[in-house]
């Protein structure tokens, strides 16, 4: 049954206006008026909607793996390979900014002697990240591990070490979940049947041969590297079909049932908004909005992948986001019930750029205080806005306030919800008044200029926003 909560149904935006009766010039009132429709009669379903697509109707997303993934909320994405020697984009610059013969020879000079897997994973951990996804093979076809099926791999670079293994072990040592990105598209492989800036005749290629190569390589990632997430990509070209996507999904799950596989394994991925067009038809465990925060959706799991700079792979002096921007991105993502996979592109010597490490550290410091409002939470019960977002866990509701100049918050009452206690994470009292709205008065001093969190202890009754899926 659908109920409409509409306290001020003519407004559905947020207003920030001076609050006349209080004297401080800092005092601003945020009047939040959301027209909300919610469903309180249904409980959360235990079976997630994703899985192996129409060819594998019995193959549903592994519930335990998915819950663990959603509880983590924040991970590190890494785009790295020989192309970092040039500072151009991974995959896409082959035959564009860099001539093909030069691009394909870069691996002969790839010698990241300062690479230290434990250090990378420590950086991720200090940032408050709980999982790690590395490009094992991007569109350029280079394999970051010694693959039995190709010579175009790490074994034939001057560094020779198995860097992927080192990363997997560091993740295990430091309790970070290890995942691998793998591009089904391969513009270097002779048998992949779409060319990109590449004069080799397509007639000489054979997708069946390439498919076998791909399936074999993915098997290596699962059995030899015990990957927990396979982050597929490059599914959009005509060479890759819906049937192949579903078959690949099944191949992976047959090898390891607790594996999570993103929706780019198949053709259901809808543009950069990243969600799956018909979950029953297409394979994939979660949606992948790219370079944007996904819309609120607690019916199909999702993860936004967003770069800390502009490029995925390292670029010297690339424009970098501030800690505040990253923290707000994390808050809005989690408030919309999604995960954030924040990308860094390490340098050719193997180090993550120090200025990026500094930003990551600031995020980690913020999470040290506010992490309980992020990890293990779900988005809502209010829809996120630019000024604030909400998350919940058990009887706790967390209000993440990004408009840090605000000293009085006003939000619509939710049917049945009673507030028993309110405090600011990191210290500070909140005065609560409830009439037709919830009014929260805040102290002058707040724990962070980036954003702060008000923890509300409630009676545990609030609508679940189930019927508000905005794609
Ligand atoms: C893809 C990759 O190309 C990119 O390098 C990165 O790995 C990202 C996570 O995924 O991004 C895309 C995908 C498709 C288009 C552009 C970027 N496209 O079709 O224009």
Cα-to-centroid distance, 374 and ligand 1 (Å): 27
Atom of ligand 1 nearest to the CA of 138: 7
State pLDDT tens for residues 183-227: 999 999 999 999 999 999 999 999 999 999 999 999 999 999 999
Q: What pLDDT is recorded for position 139?
A: 98
Atom of ligand 1 nearest to the CA of 135: 7
pLDDT band at 285 (very low <50, low <70, confident <90, very high): very high
pLDDT band at 181 (very low <50, low <70, confident <90, very high): very high
List ligand 1's pocket residues with C-beta within 6 A: 79, 90-91, 233, 236, 290, 305, 312
How confident is the model over 330-337, as a mean pLDDT?
98
Atom of ligand 1 nearest to the CA of 305: 9
Protein residue with least CA distance to atom 16, ligand 1: 272
Q: Which two tokens stand for residue 19?
A: 């609050």
Q: What pLDDT is recorded for position 97?
A: 98
Rounded to the nearest angstrom, the gap between the alpha carbon of residue 280 and the centroid of all alpha carbons in its chain is 23
Q: What pLDDT is recorded for position 47?
A: 57
Averaged pLDDT score across all residues of the chain: 89
pLDDT band at 466 (very low <50, low <70, confident <90, very high): low
Q: What pLDDT is recorded for position 9?
A: 26
Q: Lowest mean pLDDT of 21-30, 110-119, 176-185, name the range.
A: 21-30
Cα separation of 30 and 27, whole Å?
Answer: 10
State pLDDT tens for residues 424-446: 999 999 999 998 889 999 999 99
pLDDT band at 243 (very low <50, low <70, confident <90, very high): very high
Atom of ligand 1 nearest to the CA of 236: 19
Cα-to-centroid distance, 134 and ligand 1 (Å): 15
Paired with 180 in beta bridges are 134, 230
Q: Which two tokens stand for residue 310?
A: 């502009």
Protein residue with least CA distance to atom 6, ligand 1: 312
Q: How many CB atoms are located within 10 Å of the residue 357 CB?
A: 17
SS3 category, 350: coil
Q: Lowest mean pLDDT of 16-30, 190-204, 327-341, name the range.
A: 16-30
Protein residue with least CA distance to atom 10, ligand 1: 233
State pLDDT tens for residues 147-170: 999 999 999 999 999 999 999 999
Cα-to-centroid distance, 372 and ligand 1 (Å): 32
How confident is the model over 292-302, as a mean pLDDT?
94
Cα-to-centroid distance, 419 and ligand 1 (Å): 45
Cα separation of 67 and 337, whole Å?
Answer: 12
State pLDDT tens for residues 360-395: 999 999 999 999 999 999 999 999 999 999 999 999
Atom of ligand 1 nearest to the CA of 183: 7
Atom of ligand 1 nearest to the CA of 343: 9
Q: What pLDDT is recorded for position 470?
A: 38
CA torsion sign for 92, 93, 96, 102 is negative
Q: What pLDDT is recorded for position 35?
A: 30
pLDDT band at 100 (very low <50, low <70, confident <90, very high): very high
Mutation pick for ligand 1 pocket among 290, 292, 309 (CB with most ligand atoms within 8 Å) = 290
How confident is the model over 100-124, as a mean pLDDT?
98
């Amino acid at each position: 049954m659908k109920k409409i909560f509409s306290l001020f149904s003519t407004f559905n935006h947020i207003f920030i206006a001076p609050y006349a009766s209080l004297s401080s010039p800092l005092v601003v009132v945020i009047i939040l008026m959301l027209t909300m429709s919610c469903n309180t009669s249904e409980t959360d379903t235990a079976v997630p909607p994703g899985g192996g697509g129409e060819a594998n109707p019995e193959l549903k997303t592994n519930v335990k793996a998915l819950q663990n993934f959603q509880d983590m909320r924040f991970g590190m994405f890494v785009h790295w390979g020989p192309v970092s020697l040039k500072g151009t984009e991974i995959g896409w610059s082959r035959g564009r900014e860099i001539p093909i013969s030069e691009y394909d020879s870069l691996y002969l000079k790839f010698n990241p002697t300062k690479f230290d897997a434990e250090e990378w994973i420590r950086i991720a951990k200090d940032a408050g990240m709980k999982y790690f996804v590395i490009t094992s093979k991007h569109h350029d076809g280079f394999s970051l591990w010694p693959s039995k099926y190709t010579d175009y791999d790490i074994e034939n670079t001057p560094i020779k070490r198995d860097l992927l293994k080192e990363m997997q072990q560091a993740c295990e040592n430091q309790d970070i979940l290890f995942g691998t990105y793998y591009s089904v598209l391969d513009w270097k492989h002779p048998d992949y049947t779409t060319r990109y800036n590449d004069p080799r005749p397509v007639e000489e290629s054979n997708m069946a041969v390439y498919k076998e190569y791909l399936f074999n390589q993915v098997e290596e990632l699962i059995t030899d590297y015990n990957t927990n997430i396979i982050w597929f990509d490059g599914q959009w070209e005509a060479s890759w079909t819906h049937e192949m996507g579903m078959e690949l999904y099944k191949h992976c799950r047959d090898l390891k049932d607790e594996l999570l596989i993103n929706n780019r394994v198949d053709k259901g991925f809808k543009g950069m908004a990243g969600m799956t067009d018909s979950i029953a038809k297409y394979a994939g465990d979660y949606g992948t909005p790219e370079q944007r925060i996904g819309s609120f959706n607690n019916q199909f799991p999702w993860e936004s992948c967003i770069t800390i700079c502009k490029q995925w792979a390292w670029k010297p002096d690339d424009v970098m986001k501030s800690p505040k921007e990253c923290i707000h991105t994390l808050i809005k993502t989690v408030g919309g019930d999604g995960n954030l996979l924040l990308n860094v592109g390490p340098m050719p010597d193997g180090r993550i750029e120090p200025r990026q490490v500094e930003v990551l550290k600031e995020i980690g410091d913020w999470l040290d205080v506010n992490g309980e409002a992020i990890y293990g939470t779900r988005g809502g019960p209010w829809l996120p806005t630019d000024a604030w977002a909400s998350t919940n866990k058990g009887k706790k509701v967390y209000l993440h306030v990004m408009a840090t100049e605000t000293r009085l918050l006003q939000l619509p009452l939710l049917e049945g919800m009673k507030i028993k206690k309110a405090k600011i994470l990191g210290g500070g009292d909140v005065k609560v008044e409830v009439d037709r709205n919830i009014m929260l008065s805040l102290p002058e001093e707040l724990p962070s200029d980036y954003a702060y969190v008000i923890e509300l202890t409630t009676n545990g009754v609030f609508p679940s926003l189930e019927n508000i899926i905005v794609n």
